[in-house]
Structure 1
Amino acid sequence: MKRHEIDDELTSTGAQQLLTSSSVARLAYLATDATPRVIPIGFYWTADQVVVSTAATAPKVAALSAHPDVALTIDSGDTPGDARSLSIRGRASVQIVDGVTEEYLASARKAMDAEAAAQFEQNCRELYDQMARIAITPHWVRYFDFGAGRLPQFLQELVERTG
């Protein structure tokens, strides 16, 4: 996928809403035993990368270091008309940092008021001596808005053929 195509998808209004207002994504990766995993995880969008953070000792850290290709989805909507999804494929880079990553705290702030966020930060700073900062650089992106008719290509073709 060309850079401008990635940028077009990521800068669409709906994609930006999901990237900046959602607090949980689903991350797919290969574990160290080469079997697939999908996990819910908090994330922060930097305008270039999706950053997730975890304990430096978490199993996904070793897995992503060995197999950095990942897929990520962020979605919303409880009805077909409200269903929206942002699908990202990319490569993860892992960096162990001292203390708590700023992106981890910023991600939590999306879902908390100021008082709860301050307590969360204090608890995190007491808990984590180190964290893994996992930065995912998108290589392929698609934004879907099912209610607005922005569908996967195969589904769009099916609708056009039967419509």
Structure 2
Amino acid sequence: MDQLDIDRELTDAGELLASPSALHVAYTALDGTPRVVPAGFLWTGTELVIATAATAPKVAALQAHPDVAVTIDASDGPAGARQLSVRGRAEITIVDGVVEEYLAASRKGMDDEAAAQFEQACRELYDRMARIAIVPRWARYYDFGVGRIPTFLQELAARGAAGR
């Protein structure tokens, strides 16, 4: 998949990337077993940014095994099911204080007062945070309601229609 294809998929998934939904990131833990965890995120236009405590187990795991897969899902029932799948590598930067994208991500789902309270609590809690940036190397957007579905399902549906 070239960068133009990736950019097209991400553009089509703009509503999901701007949503207050959590993403799910899959990675390999230090013991070699798979993990999937939800996280708030901010799409910067080039990176999916998540943040966590600098001491969180996933930080060490991602430093050792930076390849990840990410999904962001939304559904208004079967006809409104949408999903963005992304593969990339996590780049970790430890920052003093709170990762600004973490606060910006929280504002997507909070009113001003709640966001201010959340920010204050974060600034009191975190001395340092890990900024985890994922640059998409592959992306695919599905919108089941309009028939934008995985190829294998398109082929299955076509075979079923032909057999009727």
| TM-score normalised by length of structure 1 | 0.97
Match of 1:154 among 134, 152, 155: 152
Aligned to 1:100: 98
- Equivalent residue for 1:36? 34
Q: CA deviation at 1:91?
A: 0.5
Structure 2: runs of 5 or more not aligned: none
Equivalent residues of 1:22, 1:74 under 8 A apart: no
Residue in 2 aligned with 1:48?
A: 46
Whichever residue aligns with residue 5 of structure 1, its letter is: D
**What percent identity do the matched residue pairs reach?**
65
Task: Output the CA distance in 2 between the equivalents of 1:60 and 1:22.
Answer: 22
> Is contact 1:23–1:108 with CA below 8 Å preserved after alignment?
no
CA deviation profile, 1:78-111 (whole Å, cap 9, x unmatched): 4211110000010000110000011000010001
Deviation of 1:23 (Å): 3.1
> Residues 75 and 84 of structure 1 are in contact (CA less than 8 Å); yes or no, is this contact kept in structure 2?
yes
> Hey, what does 1:9 align to over in structure 2?
9
Deviates more, 1:64-73 or 1:19-28: 19-28
Partner residue in 1 for 2:25: 27
- Contact 2:66/2:89 (8 A) holds in 1: yes
Superposition CA RMSD, Å: 0.7
Check the 8 A contact 2:20/2:105 in 1, yes or no: no
SS in 2 for 1:81: helix
Moved over 4 A (4+): none
1:91 paired residue among 84, 89, 92: 89
Offset of residue 116 of structure 1: 0.3
List per-residue Cα deviations over 1:14-54 (Å, max 9, x = no partner): x1000001330111000001100001111110000100000
Q: If the length of structure 2 is used for normalisation, what is the TM-score?
A: 0.96
In 1, the alpha carbon distance for the partners of 2:30 and 2:99 equals 24
Report the structure number with the largest CA radius of gyration: 2
Aligned to 1:127: 125
Contact persistence 2:6–2:139 (CA under 8 A)? yes
- Length, aligned pairs only: 161
Give me the whole-angstrom Cα distance separating, in 2, the residues matched to 1:156 and 1:119.
Answer: 47
Gaps of 5+ in 1: none
Q: Give 1:115 shift.
A: 0.3
In structure 2, distance between residues paired with 1:63 and 1:145: 32
What secondary structure does 1:11 align onto? Answer: helix
